[in-house]
Chain A
Amino acid sequence: MSIQSLSMTSDLILVSEEAVSRKELLNKLSRLLHSKGYVKSSFEEAVIQREDQYPTGLQTRITGVAIPHADSEHVEKSALAVATLKHPVQFRAMDNPDNIIDVNIVIMMAIKKSEDQVLMLQQLMGVLQNDAALKKILNATEAEAIHDTLKEVIFSN
């Protein structure tokens, strides 16, 4: 895919994460991206605010998935940070904030160029609509397995 130098490395993937709340999880993934220089310090607040205003929970055929993101002005280098959850965390649904979705997979997008946001999202939709890939991600016990699955779906298109 043509997204410029997108980083999706195993050290940006958390497996069977135990988080008590959506906010805790968003803090953790944002800080992970920040600690490795992918996003500015403003990203964390921006992503939480955006999730409040425009929730990103999606119910797929396999499981609840959230795709939190923020404007590209808060991003230094494009990257994906991923968490699978030991226990589901509640996110509000993108199409109706009154609906609560039990989310087991969180894919945080930090994309530097806004044109790339579209490309990235299109690739991610391929993941969300790929039952086999989602099951693999959900059941993975190692970051490497999630990384390989995502890479296969995202970069093969």
Chain B
Amino acid sequence: MVKEKRILVACGTSIATSTVIADRIRNLCEKHNIPVKIIQCKVPEVRSLAEGMDLIVASTRIPSGINVPYVNGVSYLSGIGMENTDQEILRILKEE
């Protein structure tokens, strides 16, 4: 069985932008048959929640020194480069 990937999605409030980004990732992973567990959080919580995650996607900058792959998810809001962001996320999730 394929191991479930754990993704942390962060934004300022953990409500609005992270939900938009999380929805997009959920659909993307479904399409590519990658089982995922998505956790939404506020940016200041990223450090304490990062452990054990396979990927962090955020609409804002995240604190430095976190040892988990990070993808900038702002394209899902602005519409510029969404496909590139998709590819970047898939590449990281398909590693290992």
Contact = CB atoms under 8 A, between A and B. Distances in A.
Nearest to B80: A61
Interface string B38-70: 000001000000000000001111000000000
Nearest to A95: B74
A126 to B, nearest CB: 9
A121 B16 contact: yes
A45 B40 CA distance: 27
A129 B76 CA distance: 9
Nearest to A130: B79
> What is the predominant secondary structure among interface residues of chain B facing chain A?
mixed
Interface of B: 11-13, 15-17, 19-20, 23, 43, 58-61, 72-74, 76-80
B12 A60 contact: no
Interface of A: 50, 53-54, 58-61, 69, 71, 93-97, 114, 117-118, 120-122, 125, 128-129
Contacts of B15: 114, 117-118
Contacts of A71: 13
B60 A54 contact: yes
A98 to B, nearest CB: 8
Contacts of B12: 50, 53-54
Contacts of B58: 95
Contacts of B60: 54, 94-95
Contact of B78 (A97, A118, A120, A128): A128
Contacts of B61: 95-97
